[in-house]
Amino acid sequence: MTDELIMEAVKRGELQQATLLFERYHKRIFNFLARMTMDRALAEDLTQNVFLRIIKYRTSYREGNKFQSWIYQVARNVFSDHYQANKNKFSDFVDVEKISDHMADLEEHEAQDEKEKLLHQSMARLSEEQRELLVLTRFQQMKYEEVAAIMDTTVANIKVKVHRAILKLREYYFEMEKI
Amino acid sequence: MKNKKIITGIVLLLIAGCVQAQEFKVAKNSGRLELYVGKVTVEGYDGNEIIFSSKDGGKDRDERAEGLRSVNSLGLSDNTGLGINVTDKGNVVEVRQLKKTNAPNIRVQVPKGVIVSFTHESQYGGEAVFKNLTNEIEVSAQYNSIELDNVTGPLTVKTIYGHVEATFSSTIKDPISIVSVYGYVDVTLPQATKADLKLSTSYGEIFVAPEFDIKIEATGGMVHYSDKVVGKINGGGINIDLACNYGKVYLRKK
Amino acid sequence: MEKQKLESMLIDYIDNRLNTVDKRVVEQELVNNAESYKLYEELKEVMHLMDRSARIEPSAKLRAGFDDLLKEEMTSARQTKTVFFQPALYRVAAAVALLILGGGIGFWISHQREERQLAERERLEALEKQMQITQQMMAMLQNGQSASQRIQGVNVAVSMGKADDEIVNALVKTMNEDPNSNVRLAALDALSKFSDDAAVRKALVTSLQKQKDPVVQISLIQLLVKMKEKSVVNDLRKIVDDEKTMQAVKDEAYSGILRLS
C-alpha cells in the first residue's frame, strides 16, 4: 500500500494506520532532524512532534499530494518553529555551549572516525539552508526532484544550491584539517 | 351628531375590514425574505408569520377586474390580491411586484429571525422604509432612497442615486455597511455606541456630532484614497462603515 | 575553463551524472591541471564521507512516545474534541518519569525537554487556534444566506494581520464573485491593505474588468490610481468608452486616466 493511501485512511479517521507511516518514516525524519539540530534528544522530541502534527492536522493533508514531501515539509516547520521559539529564550553564549556539547553527544554514537568528526564540525558551520540541502541530498540520498518538491522550488535551483553547499563544505573541511 | 358618529364608526369598520381582507400571510420565522419591489415599508413584530398588506387600503381597486387575475410578462400572477406575487421557496420567500412602472404601496411585517433583503434596479420606485427591526437587512438599490428607523443591524445598504437615513436603537449588531454614490448617508447613533468607524467620501464632506470623540487610528502601511476617517469611538467595538462618492456623510448622536 | 563551471562539472562527474562528451572534457582537465585534480580529490572525499555517513539510530523512547501519543489521539478523537492533553496529569507523569530515569544531568536535560514539550504544546495550540479562525473565516465568507456574515468573515481576515495565500485567495474570490456589493467592497478594502504584495496587486488589476457594480468600480479605480498602477489605463479607456458605464464611474475612470498617464 502506498504512503498516500495510508495517509488518506488516517485522514478518514483510521488513526491506527499512522503506525505504518511511523514505521516507514520515523528513522528518516529522526536522522534529518538529528543532522539539523545536532542534538539527539531534541531530535527525538521534534520527531515525535512531527508525527503529532501529522495526526492532529490529518485533515489538512491534500489527497493526491506526495506524502513524503508533506511529512518533510512538516518536519521543516517543526524545526524552524523550534528554532524561532528558542532564539529568544537563550543567549547566544548558551547556544554555542549547547551546540558543542550536543555535537559531542552526537559524535559519541558514531564511528570514532576523525574524518567523520571533522565532517560534522564542518557541517555545523554551514548555513541552515545549506546544511539542510546536504542532509537531504547526500545523507538521505534524495533525488533533486524530491527535494525540489519539498522546498517548492525548481530542480535547477536545487542543483545550483547543492553544488554551492558541497563546495562550501569542502572549504570548511580542509580548512579545519590543516589545524 | 349621534348618526354621524355611527356612520364614522361603520366607515372605520369597513376600512378595517377591507384592510383585513387584504392581508396575505406566510408562516415563517427564519430564512430570507427577498423583496423585488419598487416601494415598501417593512416593520418588525413579534410573531411567526410574514404579513403583507396594502398601505393604500385598496383604494385603487379596479372593479372592472373583479373576478380576474392580474398576470405579467414574467409569468407571475398576483396571488395576494395586493399587486404582488409571493413565492415560498422554503428557505427563501420571494416577493415581486406585478406592474413594472407603478409600485404598489406594500407594508410587510416580519418576525425576528427573518433576514430582510431588498433589491430594486429600475428608476420607477419610491422609498424603502425599514422600521423597528432587529433583523439583518440587506439593501441593493439604484434609485431608491432608504430610510431605516430604530434598527439594530446587521446592515448592508447600497444605493446609487438615493440617499440613506438611518437611526439605530441602543443595541447595534455588527457589521454596518452603508454606501451611496450620489446620495447622502445620514446616520444617528446612541452616544454610548462603541464602534470602529470608517467614514469616507470621494468628493463630498464628512460631518460628525461633537459628542463623538473619534480616536483616529494610525494608518501605517495602508493605502489612503479620497477623504477617509478611520477611528474608534468609546473605545471601539462594532464595525461601522459609511461611504459616499459625491454625497455627504453625517453622523449624529441620538 | 571557468572556475565555477569546472567545480559544478566536477561534482556531477563524481556523481556520474555527465554525458560522455563532458566526461571526456573533465578527464582531460584532470590530467592537465594538478590544481583541478586536487579539487576533485577533496570534493570526492567530502561527498563520499557524506554518502557513507552512518545512520543514527533513535532510542526506544521514540517509539514508546509515538505509541502513547497515538493512543491519546485516538481516545481524544473518540471523545469528540476535548482538550488533548491533560496538562497537570501530564506534568506529574513527566516528573515521575524524571525521578526514575534521571540523575543530576538527566534531570537538567529532562527539565529542558519538558520545557520544550510545553512550548511545543503552546505552539500547537496557537497553530490550532489560527487554523480554527481561518476555518471559521472561510465558513463565514461562504455563508450564502447572510451578507453580514460574509462581511464579518472579511473583518476576521483583516484582523489576522498578515495574509497567507489561503486568505488572500478567499478575499480575491469574494471581491470578484460575491453577489452583494457591500461585501465585495469590504473585500476590496481588506485587500487594499496588502496592496504591496505582488499577487494582491495583480488580483486588483485583473478585477477591474470583472466588476460591474458602480460602487465597487469607483473604489477600485481610486485604489489603482493611488497605487499608481499605470497598466490599467487601457482598461479605464474601455470603461469610459462603454455605453453602459454609469456616469459616475466614467468620471472616475477619466480622472484616473489623466492622473496615470
- Tell me, yes or no, whether A134 and A57 share the same domain: no
**Cβ atoms B54, B19 nearer than 8 A:** yes
Chain A residue numbers touching C77 (CB-CB < 8 A): 13, 15
Taking the CB of residue A34, how many other CB atoms lie within 10 A of it? 26
Average pLDDT over residues C170-190: 91
Q: Whole-model pTM above 0.80?
A: no
Above 70 in pLDDT, residue C221? yes
- Give the CATH number, domain containing residue A65: 1.10.1740.10
Above 80 in pLDDT, residue C26? yes
Return the residue of B nearest to C154 by Cα: B175
- Parent domain of A175: 110-179
Beta-carbon separation of B157 and C182 below 8 A: yes
Confidence of residue C100 (pLDDT cuts 50, 70, 90): low
* pLDDT tens string A13-70: 888 889 999 999 999 999 999 999 888 888 999 999 999 999 988 888 888 788 999 9
- Tell me, yes or no, whether A45 and A127 share the same domain: no
Contacting C residues, span 27-66, partner chain A, CB-CB under 8 Å:
39, 42-43, 45-47, 49-51, 53-59, 61-63, 65-66
Above 80 in pLDDT, residue A5? yes
- Tell me, yes or no, whether A141 and A68 share the same domain: no
Owner of C-alpha cell 415581486: B96
**Cβ atoms C211, C239 nearer than 8 A:** no
Q: Is C118 exposed, middle or buried (0-12, 13-18, 19+ CB in 10 A)?
A: middle
Average pLDDT over residues C131-141: 79
- Tell me, yes or no, whether A79 and A159 share the same domain: no
C96 versus C137: the higher-pLDDT residue is C137
Average pLDDT over residues C54-72: 88
The residues, any chain, with a CB within 8 Å of residue C209's CB and separated by 6 or more, are C235, C238
- Give the CATH number, domain containing residue B147: 2.160.20
- Tell me, yes or no, whether A60 and A136 share the same domain: no
- Tell me, yes or no, whether A122 and A163 share the same domain: yes
**Cβ atoms C217, C239 nearer than 8 A:** yes
- Tell me, yes or no, whether A40 and A78 share the same domain: yes
The domain total for chain B is 1
**Cβ atoms A28, A50 nearer than 8 A:** no
* pLDDT tens string C222-244: 899 988 888 889 889 988 888 88
Above 50 in pLDDT, residue C56? yes
- Tell me, yes or no, whether A88 and A1 share the same domain: yes
Total beta-carbon pairs less than 8 A apart between chain B and chain C: 91
Within a domain: C79: no
Among residues A107, A127, A125, A27, which one has the least CA distance to residue A75?
A27
Within a domain: A132: yes
Q: How far is CA C222 from the centre of its chain?
A: 30
Return the residue of C nearest to B173 by Cα: C148
Chain B residue numbers touching C250 (CB-CB < 8 A): none
- Name the residue facing C53 among A49, A85, A139 (closest C-beta): A139
- Tell me, yes or no, whether C228 and C192 share the same domain: yes
Within a domain: A35: yes
- Parent domain of B182: 2-253
The residues, any chain, with a CB within 8 Å of residue C15's CB and separated by 6 or more, are C47
Taking the CB of residue A148, how many other CB atoms lie within 10 A of it? 18
Which helix (H) or strand (E) segment holds residue C110: the answer is helix C104-141
- Name the residue facing B179 among C152, C182, C222 (closest C-beta): C182
Beta-carbon separation of C53 and A15 below 8 A: no
Cis peptide before B111 (omega within 30 of 0): no
Q: What is the mean pLDDT of chain A?
A: 83
Return the residue of B nearest to C144 by Cα: B32
pLDDT of residue B2: 54
Above 90 in pLDDT, residue C196? no
- Tell me, yes or no, whether C131 and C173 share the same domain: no
Beta-carbon separation of A170 and C131 below 8 A: no
Within a domain: A16: yes
Strands B146-151 and B128-133: what pairing?
parallel
- Tell me, yes or no, whether A83 and A26 share the same domain: yes
* pLDDT tens string A85-99: 665 444 333 344 444
Within a domain: A39: yes
Chain C residue numbers touching B179 (CB-CB < 8 A): 181-182, 185, 215
Confidence of residue A156 (pLDDT cuts 50, 70, 90): very high
pLDDT of residue B50: 94
Within a domain: A104: no
- Tell me, yes or no, whether A55 and A135 share the same domain: no
Q: Which of C106, C141, C176 is the last residue of a domain?
A: C141
ipTM: 0.82
Within a domain: A99: no
- Parent domain of C118: 86-141
The domain total for chain A is 2
Residue B185: C-alpha distances to residues A39, A155, B143, B148, C181 (Å):
65, 57, 14, 11, 16
Mean pLDDT by 10 residues, chain B (254 residues): 55 46 84 93 93 74 72 78 88 88 88 94 89 94 94 93 93 92 93 90 85 70 56 90 90 90
- Name the residue facing C62 among A26, A85, A134 (closest C-beta): A26
Within a domain: A34: yes
Average pLDDT over residues C64-93: 65
- Tell me, yes or no, whether A44 and A88 share the same domain: yes
Closest-CA distance of chain C to residue A15, Å: 7
Q: Does C192 touch chain B (CB under 8 A)?
A: yes
- Tell me, yes or no, whether C132 and C167 share the same domain: no
Q: How far is CA C71 from the centre of its chain?
A: 31
Taking the CB of residue C54, how many other CB atoms lie within 10 A of it? 12
Beta-carbon separation of C215 and B181 below 8 A: yes
- Tell me, yes or no, whether A80 and A122 share the same domain: no
